[in-house]
Amino acid sequence: MVPLSYYLVLSAFLFACGVAGFLIKRNIITIFMSIELMLNAVNLSFIAFAAHWHVLSGQIFVFFVMVVAAAEAAVGLAIIIAVFRTRETLNVDRVNLLKL
């Protein structure tokens, strides 16, 4: 059986990848995907704990996260399309009308 720590390390690694992408990338789609990556990294740790402690609440929480992620994807993609229509770019550094 794979020990719990493997899952957690993988989860932390994925989450770190997500944070890094979130901070570094300029393309709004990529940032969006990074967020999804972070969510799924968290999901992984939920599942791992749930399996390890034999408690279902972790698995149930994952469903909630997936629902939220789906909703977020729907709204987020809609916003992205709207932004693209007006700004004709996906580079977040150029979506800066609120800047000083």
Partner 1 sequence: MNQDLNLHLWLIPLLPLLGAAINGLLGRNFPRKMTATVALASTAASLAWALNAAAHFASLPASAIPHIEHYATWIRSGNFSVEYGFQLDQLSVIMMLVVTGVGFLIHIYSVAYMEHEGGYYRFFSYMNLFMFFMLTLVLANNYLLMFVGWEGVGLASYLLIGFFFVKDSAANAGKKAFIVNRVGDFGFLIAMFLLIKHFGSLRYSEVFSAVSQFPAETAGAGVLTAIAILMLVGACGKSAQIPLYVWLPDAMEGPTPVSALIHAATMVTAGVYMVARSNPIFNRAPEALLVVAIIGCLTAFYAATIGTAQNDIKRVLAYSTISQLGYMFMACGVAAYTAGIFHLMTHAFFKALLFLGAGAVIHGVGGEQDMRRMGGLKKYMPWTYWTMVMATCAIAGIPGFAGFFSKDEILWQSFSSPHGHWAFWAVGVITALMTSFYMFRLIFMTFHGEYRGATANAHGAHKADDHGHHGTPHESPWVMLGPLVILAVLSVVGGWVGINNRFEHFLSPVIQKVSTAEMRSAEHNPAAIASEGATEETTGEPHTTPINESEEGSAHEKELEWTLMGISILAAFGGWGLAWVFYIKRPDLPDRVTATLGGVYTTVLNKYYVDEIYRAVVVSPLVTGSTKVLWRGIDTGVIDATVNEAGHGAQEISDGVRRQQSGNIRSYAGWVAAGAALVIIYMVWMGTK
Q: Which residues bind partner 1 (CB under 8 A)?
A: 19, 22-23, 26, 31, 92-93, 95-100
Nearest distance from residue 65's CB to partner 1, in Å? 16
Residue 35 to residue 41: CA distance in whole angstroms: 10
Min separation Cβ 1 and partner 1, Å: 27
Residue closer to partner 1 by CB (options 17, 59) is 17
Residue 88 has what DSSP assignment?
S
Using alpha carbons, select from 77, 17, 80 the residue that is nearest to residue 25. 17
Distant-in-sequence, close-in-space partners of 67: CB < 8 Å, separation ≥ 6:
none
In the complex with partner 1, which residue's Cβ is closer, 4 or 92? 92
